[in-house]
Structures are given as structure tokens and as C-alpha cells.
Structure 1
Amino acid sequence: MVPAIAGSADMTVPPRRPFYTPREVSRHCTLTDLWVSYLGKVYDLTPLAKQHKGDVLLKPIIAAAGKDISHWFNPKTGDIKTYIDPQTGCLKYYTPQGRFIHVPPSYPSTDWDNSFGRPWWRDPSYEIGILSSKTRFIRIINTLTSQEHTLEVCSEENMWEILHRYLPCNAHATSYTWKFDGVPLDMDKTLQENGVRDEDEEFEQLTIDSDLFTPSILLYFNDDLTEY
């Protein structure tokens, strides 16, 4: 959960679910740190992996660690994709990557235990955040020290959330006024809402490498030093 930052508009409002970039999700790709994303959300399946450690049905999930598995699902129902078995005429889950945890066997089985309750893909307790639909890079320049850092951020994040991403680079980030093109930024708004346009599509149409132009945010030091 993203901690509160001093100076945000309304501290009585519960913090919203954090946004994650696909790159961040991809870093959690081990049996003891297993994230996946699907249908626009990010899930930490580490507890599931721990509970079913050694189970052969965990193998497809381990193989998908750190990846987006939206192609496993029917976006209209939120359930695993299904198909009609041509031999039995029964509706079955479509799992070409292999049957996994909580998917019933293809045929009746005496050792199938369905007392687990809701399947993991319908269990909200695993949800930890939202997968960004579009990420972008920005350059943050500290005018006091002349230090520069390039960050990948989520287009849906407001400036407070982007500031949180920048804190490891500068623990005193809240002691600065953030400006773009000479204008102070509204920290409760997104980059786009602050006039920091995402021009990737325009660059693509003009066959210009978007990496050659990264918007710059300038930080101007205030009077106090606040550390988080």
C-alpha cells in the first residue's frame, strides 16, 4: 500500500490501489515472490505458491510468474476460457499451457477435492494493484544539485504517486516545488492533466524515436528539509 505523503489534499481519503508497470511485475518471478497480472489487475500469488508447494498443478503458474496472463481468461466473464469437449460435449476449461491449481480434471476423479472455496483467480485477497495501461518516461532534474534521474511512471498516477517513485533518488523530494515549463505542477493531477503531454503516438506517426525526447520536470528547493 502506498503510504500517505505530507501535503496531499485530503488525508481522510483512503489511499487508492497503487499502479504498477509491466516491468515492475516482471521482477517478481520466483517461487517465493510470484506476481502475475491479468485483465488489468496485479496479483501476488506468493501465498498460493507456498500453500501448494510441490504440487505439479503449480507448474503452469510458476512458468507464468512475472507475466501477464490475460490470454488465459474470458474478459467478459473474468473466468478461465472454456470450450466444448468434442468427445463428451461438456463445457471445460481451456488450459493449453497445462491444467493448474483449482482447475478440475477433464474426467471424473475420486481424488479431486473441490472444497477449496472460490478459485484463486476469483479471490480478491491476491489483488495488490492495477496494471498501468500506458507507461511513460520522464526526466527529473534537481536544480539545486544538478542531479538528473529518468523514471518510468504510470500514466494514471498523479504527481504525489510519481514523487513516491522518486523518493529513493531524493529523500527530500517533498521539500521542492515541482515545475514543468516554468509552471508549478498540481500534485493531485496526472502528468497529462498538468500539461505534460504524452506524444508517443505523434512521434510514431512521424517515425521519430520517442526515446530522443523525454519531458523534463524541474525541482526547485524550498525552505525546509523533510525526510521520509
Structure 2
Amino acid sequence: MARQKYFTPYEVSAHNTCDDLWVSYLGKVCDLTPLMTKHKGDILLVPIIECAGKDISHWFYTESKDIRTHVDRLTGCVQYYTPRGRFLHVPPPCPRTDWATDFGVPWWRDNQYVVGRLSAKTRWIRIINTLTSQEQLMEVCCEETLEEILQRYSQYNSHASSYTWKQEGVCLDMSKTLSENGIPDVDEELDQCCLDRDNYTQSVSLYFNDDLTDPDPPQ
């Protein structure tokens, strides 16, 4: 199974402990668990832990991707703006001899922690298995192709690749997104009209191909 490229905010929020800590910022999703382990016990981890599973884009400038700054009212000096408190790899406001500068790349610029992208917009889709009549309402990323949505759906049906995916009788292109297949995102309209998503969400129908795929083929 290919590595997941996009994540929903809900998926990020599920990783909200010191032993499993994700955050998102500026469109990236980062797994900071190794950082937590490496610096376990460091007081400068507290602001990050408090935001576990959340989006922290407001900590950074969009263009430079560096931490926001402000002018200190007392000193008149430009300092990093950290309202939750100074965090790991942020220099102290005043010169100190006990602050190590040999950590290399600060964690927010280190791509080793990046696990994927945060979806710019999620949407809901109903997947109907015409063989079993089972239905599954799923939140997916608007950037994902149907092949990637199939991977998400595989947790409910391990033989999902043995089905042809159709919408209103038309075969769908698995290499394209829902929108590119002509399936519009109506979530906003449903919310504006106060309509029940269970009754009006766009649906995709799965038709069995009679060529059952073995999810774990023998080696």
C-alpha cells in the first residue's frame, strides 16, 4: 500500500500525546514524536505538547516560514513572538551562555519530521457496495485521487480493488479526484440549507468484478 500523502485535520488530531505527537503548519503534517523522545523532559517542549494534534500555522510567517516576531515594548528589540512561551530551538530573548546553538536545523525546518500534507479542504462521500448493500460515509481529502480514496476504504473492505467504481452508471477514472470525475463537493450547500448529510451526500457505487483480490498474496 502506498504511503498516504494527505491527511484530514481529524486524522492529525488523533495524534495528541507525548508518545504520539503530530502537528500541522503551513500545509505540512509533521510527526514530532522522535523530537519528543530525543528531548524528553525539556521544559521547552511544553508549548509544543500543549498544541499536540493541532494546527500551529499562526506561529509562522507564510512567506519566510520562520517564526513570527514582534517588537518588545520594554526593550524596543525585535523578538520571536511565542505567546505560549519559548519553545525548542527558539533562542532566548537575551544573550545567554547556557544556550546550545549546535542543534543544526530547527525542527520546523527539518523535513525528516514531515509525513504528508494537510488537506486544504475535506469532503464527505458515501461509498455503496452493491454486492453487500453496505454503505460507508467517509471524510476524504479533496486532493486525493479515487485510487487514494480506495486505500482509505480498504480498512472497511480489504478487497476494494476487486470492484469497479461508478457514479450514476458511469465508470470513474481512478487516477483522478472526485471533482475531476465530475462529482462536485456539495458539503457547503448542505450546511447552508441545513440538510442532513446522511440523505444528500454524493455517493459512489462499487460493482464486484468477480476477480477477488488477495490482500496478502503468498510470498
Asked if Structure 1 and Structure 2 have the same fold, meaning a TM-score greater than 0.5 normalized by the shorter chain, the answer is yes
Q: CA deviation at 1:88?
A: 2.8
TM-score scaled to structure 2, two decimals?
0.93
Give the secondary-structure state (helix, strand or coil) at the position aligned to 1:53. Answer: coil
Within-5 A mapping of 1:30-109: 30-109=17-96
Aligned to 2:172: 185
Scaled by the length of structure 1, the TM-score of the pair is 0.90
* Distance of 1:183 and 1:194 partners within structure 2: 10
Gaps of 5+ in 1: 5-14
Match runs of 1:111-190 below 5 Å? 111-190=98-177
Q: CA deviation at 1:210?
A: 5.8
Q: How many residues align?
A: 214
What's 1:27 paired with?
Answer: 14
Superposed displacement of residue 151, structure 1: 0.9
What is the root-mean-square deviation in Å for CA atoms of aligned residues?
A: 1.4
Whether 2:177 is the aligned partner of 1:209: answer no
Q: CA deviation at 1:89?
A: 2.9
SS at match of 2:205: strand
Structure 2 unaligned spans of 5+: none
Following the alignment from structure 2 to structure 1, what is the Cα–Cα distance between the partners of residues 127 and 100?
54
Identity of aligned residues (%): 62
Q: Deviations over 1:170-193 (max 9, x none)?
A: 111010000011101100000001
Q: Does 1:223 align with 2:210?
A: yes
SS in 1 for 2:180: helix
Counterpart of 2:79, as a letter, is K
CA distance in 2, matches of 1:87, 1:113: 26
Q: For 1:196 and 1:227, how far apart are their aligned partners in 2? A: 30
